[in-house]
């Protein structure tokens, strides 16, 4: 089961770099912060993560710059804490 990620969560993943059209997966996990969510097929930004029929990517920013990572490849490190609205 995939955790319920939110914008601002700190996550870790194995970064993938493309060099000469070949994907190179890092052997070490890196940490990044989620900045948004997108439909993998259309690239459209989405806000409803409860849909079961789409593949969702998270936009993350970290030491490897800004990347999009499939949510199934993310591991939650620390959830963002939201203060209750007044």
Residue 2 lies in a domain: no
Q: Angle CA(46)–CA(54)–CA(76) in degrees, nearest 5?
A: 70
* Domain limits for position 47: 10-78
Q: Considering its fold, how many domains does the chain have in total?
A: 1
CA atoms lying within 13 Å on the CB side of residue 27: 0
- For residue 45, the model assigns a pLDDT of 93
Give the span between the Cα atoms of 68 and 42, in whole angstroms. 13
- For residue 84, the model assigns a pLDDT of 66
Residue 48 lies in a domain: yes
Residue 5 lies in a domain: no
Over residues 23-68, the pLDDT tens digits come to 777 788 899 999 999 999 999 999 877 777 788 899 999 988 899 9
Q: How far is CA 39 from the centre of its chain?
A: 12
43 sits in the region (left: phi over 0; alpha: psi -120 to 50; else beta) called: left
Residue 46 lies in a domain: yes
């Amino acid at each position: 089961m995939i955790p319920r990620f939110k914008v601002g969560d700190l996550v870790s993943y194995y970064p993938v770099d493309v060099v000469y059209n070949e994907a190179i997966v890092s052997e070490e996990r890196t940490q990044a912060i989620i900045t948004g969510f997108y439909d993998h097929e259309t690239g459209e930004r989405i806000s409803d993560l409860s849909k079961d029929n789409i593949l969702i990517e998270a936009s993350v920013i970290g030491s490897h710059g800004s990347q999009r990572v499939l949510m199934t490849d993310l591991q939650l490190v620390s959830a963002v804490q939201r203060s209750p609205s007044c």
